[in-house]
Structure 1
Amino acid sequence: MNIPVIFAGGSGKRMNTKSKPKQFLDLNGKPIIIYTIELFDNHPNIDGIIIVCIEDWIPYLKKMLNKFEINKVIAIVPGGKTGQESIYNGLCAAEKYAIEEKDTDTIVLIHDGVRPLITEETITDNIEKVKECNSCITCVPATETFVVSRKDGMLDIPNRADCKLARAPQSFYLKDIISAHRKCQKEGLPDFIDSCSLMSYYGHKLGIVIGPMENIKITTPTDYFVLRAMVEVHENQQIFGY
Structure 2
Amino acid sequence: MNVALIFAGGVGSRMKNDSLPKQFLELDGKPIIIHTLDVFENNPNIDAIVVVCKAEWLDYMNELLQKFELKKVFAVIAGGATALDSQYQGLLAIDQQFPQEEVIVLIHDGVRPIIDDNTINNNIELVKLEGAAITVSPAIETVTYIADEKLDEIFDREKCRLAKAPQSFLLKNILKAHKTSIDEEKRDFIDSASLMKYYGFSLGIVEGETENIKITTPSDYYLFKTIYEMKKEYNFNDGGK
* TM-score, normalised relative to structure 2: 0.95
Deviates further, 230-239 or 40-49: 230-239
Corresponding residue for residue 187 of structure 1: 184
Which amino acid is the alignment partner of residue 110 of structure 1?
I
Q: How far does the alpha carbon of each residue in 1:156-188 deviate from its partner, in whole angstroms, 9 at most, with x for none?
A: 222111100000000000000011001000001
Query: How far apart in 2 are the matches of 1:170 and 1:25?
Result: 24
Which amino acid is the alignment partner of residue 11 of structure 1?
V
Corresponding residue for residue 160 of structure 1: 157
Following superposition, the deviation at residue 31 of structure 1 comes to 0.4
Corresponding residue for residue 133 of structure 1: 130
Corresponding residue for residue 31 of structure 1: 31
* TM-score, normalised relative to structure 1: 0.94
Let me know the Cα RMSD of the aligned residues: 1.6
Q: Residue 59 in 1 paired to residue 59 in 2?
A: yes
Do 2:84 and 2:189's aligned partners in 1 also have CA atoms closer than 8 Å? yes
Deviates further, 148-157 or 9-18: 148-157
Which amino acid is the alignment partner of residue 13 of structure 2?
K
Corresponding residue for residue 17 of structure 1: 17
Query: How far apart in 2 are the matches of 1:168 and 1:222?
Result: 20
Which amino acid is the alignment partner of residue 34 of structure 1?
I
Corresponding residue for residue 146 of structure 1: 143
Partner of 2:189, secondary structure, is coil
Corresponding residue for residue 4 of structure 2: 4
Corresponding residue for residue 49 of structure 2: 49
Unmatched runs of 5 consecutive residues or more in structure 2 = none
Deviates further, 7-16 or 111-120: 7-16
Query: How far apart in 2 are the matches of 1:234 and 1:146?
Result: 29
Q: How many residues align?
A: 237
Query: How far apart in 1 are the matches of 2:85 and 2:51?
Result: 14
Corresponding residue for residue 70 of structure 1: 70
Q: How far does the alpha carbon of each residue in 1:8-47 deviate from its partner, in whole angstroms, 9 at most, with x for none?
A: 0111211111221000011111100000000000000111
Partner of 1:50, secondary structure, is strand
Query: How far apart in 1 are the matches of 2:9 and 2:48?
Result: 19
Which amino acid is the alignment partner of residue 26 of structure 1?
E
Q: How far does the alpha carbon of each residue in 1:133-165 deviate from its partner, in whole angstroms, 9 at most, with x for none?
A: 111100001111111134696612221111000
Corresponding residue for residue 85 of structure 2: 85
Partner of 1:216, secondary structure, is coil
Query: How far apart in 2 are the matches of 1:14 and 1:174?
Result: 32
Corresponding residue for residue 117 of structure 1: 114
1:189-228 maps to which residues of 2 (within 5 A)?
A: 189-228=186-225
Query: How far apart in 2 are the matches of 1:151 and 1:178?
Result: 37
Corresponding residue for residue 231 of structure 2: 234
Corresponding residue for residue 106 of structure 1: 103
Following superposition, the deviation at residue 238 of structure 1 comes to 3.6
Query: How far apart in 1 are the matches of 2:206 and 2:116?
Result: 12
Sequence identity of aligned pairs in percent? Answer: 49
Corresponding residue for residue 169 of structure 1: 166
